[in-house]
Structure 1
Amino acid sequence: MRRLPEIDLARIAPLATDQKRRALERFKLGHPTLTYKPVRALFADIFNVQLDMFTASCPADWSILKRLIRAKATSDNEFNANLLVAKGLHDFAQAKALRSRSHPFFPLSLSVGEKVEYWLPIVTALEGVPLVIFVDPRRSNGLTAEARRFVFSMMHEHIRLANLDFATARLGIVQFGDATDSQRPVKLSTDEDVELFDFDQLDQMVRETYDIWREINEARESEVRRKAAGGGHGPLFD
């Protein structure tokens, strides 16, 4: 059984049981026509991660980032989609004068046997306060308000409660608006005034989601085997 992508898990897990089942029955894991791997590979450059704590390095030049995205993209569509996100992030980072440092938060293990990672391995400073972020670059089927609540709750459990050094860190989710002026502008949400789930609630949501997902996958596999064994009526009647 293939694991659910983090964003889809966050969208589905907080739903009521019957809504979970309907959402998972509609859900199919295929091969996307494009990915955001090119821009993800450049997050350290875009967020101006400092390699030396004693020497400030300059932000990456946009022309260099654009050239790197072109080299990593597998198609023109992927290049353009990644470019819009990268430009929005780059302009946001420049406008806020962001400086960041690497910090390996590692994935969070859940009782169902899956791990989740709703954070980048960096800490940035926004208005003088440490900020840990998760980036959702999707144009459709992205994080809803309840999904953001789920993500913020995961971040709170793993980053603030598990590490006293980050007990007062801000938590942020970066999403993007529609394309304007050769970029998709950043929309930053924080956990301020968000009522968070506790770990037991999160764990139960994920467990139920994967229990249903397993049932659906087993039913699909059983149907494939039945048809392969000649139990179907053939294409004339499908």
Structure 2
Amino acid sequence: MSVDYCADVVLGTPGTAPVIAGVNYRRRPYTAAGLRFAFSAMHEQSRALDRDLHAARLAMVQFPQPPKKRPRYASVTFADNLDLIDYRQLAQMAAGTNELWDEMQEHAAEEARRTGTDDQDWWGRGD
């Protein structure tokens, strides 16, 4: 499984640093820890791999749900001066998350088999 935290585009205008933007369409914005993780992944997926992008700024565009049915507007956060997570720690965090996800999926599959609600025929094929 692969997750991308940035778009396949670099934005910029002459005389300014390029911007690599990620987009979070969810109604709830990332927490500070979530932003730090996303920016760190964006760095590893772009700037760390391409020397031409080393000076690029990282940005996260989010669309938080405002109170009382007001229109949603984009909110942009930059990773300037943020202490990024190094690659090794990112890999450990992702591996830990994947292990938890696998355990949850296995538990759900066991529960479905136990209760007969797994939506599979006798040969293990879904509907």
State the TM bucket, normalised to the shorter chain.
0.7 to 0.9
- 1:143 equivalent to 2:43? Answer no
Query: Do structure 1's residue 192 and structure 2's residue 80 form an aligned pair?
Result: yes
Asked if 1:219 corresponds to 2:79, the answer is no
Whether 1:159 and 2:46 are equivalent positions in the alignment is: yes
Cα deviation code 1:36-87 (max 9, x no counterpart) = xxxxxxxxxxxxxxxxxxxxxxxxxxxxxxxxxxxxxxxxxxxxxxxxxxxx
Question: Which amino acid is 1:171 matched to?
Answer: L
Q: Secondary structure at the match of 2:18?
A: strand
TM-score (norm 1): 0.44
Aligned equivalent of 2:97, options 202, 209, 212 = 209
Using the TM superposition, give the Cα deviation of residue 228 of structure 1 relative to its aligned residue in structure 2, in angstroms: 1.5
2:125 matched residue in structure 1 = none
Mapped to 2, the partners of 1:183 and 1:124 lie a distance apart of: 26
Structure 1: gaps (5+ residues): 1-113, 230-238
Give the distance between the partners of 2:2 and 2:93, measured in 1 at CA. 14
Q: TM-score, normalised by structure 2?
A: 0.80
Structure number having the greater helix percentage: 1
Does the CA contact (< 8 Å) of 1:152 and 1:191 recur in 2? Answer: yes
Note if 1:169 corresponds to 2:61. no
| CA RMSD between the two structures | 2.2
Separation in 1, partners of 2:97, 2:18: 33
Rounded to whole Å, the distance in 2 between the matches of 1:162 and 1:122 is 15
CA distance in 2 between partners of 1:116 and 1:150 (Å)? 12
Kept after mapping to 2: 8 A contact 1:179/1:185: no
2:121 corresponds to: none
Q: Give aligned pairs, total.
A: 114
Q: Give the match's secondary structure for 2:26.
A: coil
1:41-80 map, 5 Å:
none
Offset from partner CA, 1:151-203 (integer Å, 9 cap, x none): 110111121111001010000001124289x7422211111121110111111
Letter in 1 for 2:109: E
Identity, in percent, stands at 33
The code of the aligned residue for 1:125 comes to G
Per the TM alignment, residue 147 of structure 1 is displaced from its structure 2 partner at its CA by 0.5
